[in-house]
Amino acid sequence: MAEEAAGGGGSVSVSEKKDAPSLRRYDLDPKLDACLDLSIRRLVYSSVAGASAALLFFRSRTTRWASVAFGAGVGIGAAYTECSYILNGSSPKRPQRISPFPSLSQEEK
């Protein structure tokens, strides 16, 4: 009885449950979630790298901000490329190695 009087009863009425927003409504696809996480991390890490390089190498404010912007652009570009691979389900295309020497299987044919 003392808990109910204090308002900390712990029981939630049915009407309060219906009014609470559903967490499933905000649940993203796992691929989109991974892509969003990757994008934020690459943006922040590359911006920090650009800022630290700017503090070491440049004196004017303009060139320091340009270095931070360049780092952010590199991070966004890298995240965009990686997200396109994640969302499309394909791996990055790598050039095939071509040997200058013919293989044994080609000689047999």
Answer whether residue 69 shows pLDDT above 90. yes
Answer whether residue 3 shows pLDDT above 80. no
Span 8-51, pLDDT tens digits: 555 555 555 555 556 566 666 888 888 999 999 999 999 999 99
Q: How far apart are CA 11 and CA 1, in angstroms?
A: 13
Q: How far apart are CA 33 and CA 75, in angstroms?
A: 17
Q: How far apart are CA 29 and CA 27, in angstroms?
A: 7
Mean pLDDT for the stretch of residues 47-62: 93
pLDDT at 46: 95
Structural contact between residues 70 and 53, judged by C-beta atoms closer than 8 angstroms = no
Comparison of pLDDT for 103 and 107, the residue scoring more: 103
pTM: 0.57
DSSP state of 28: P
Q: How far apart are CA 1 and CA 93, in angstroms?
A: 68
Q: How far apart are CA 102 and CA 109, in angstroms?
A: 12
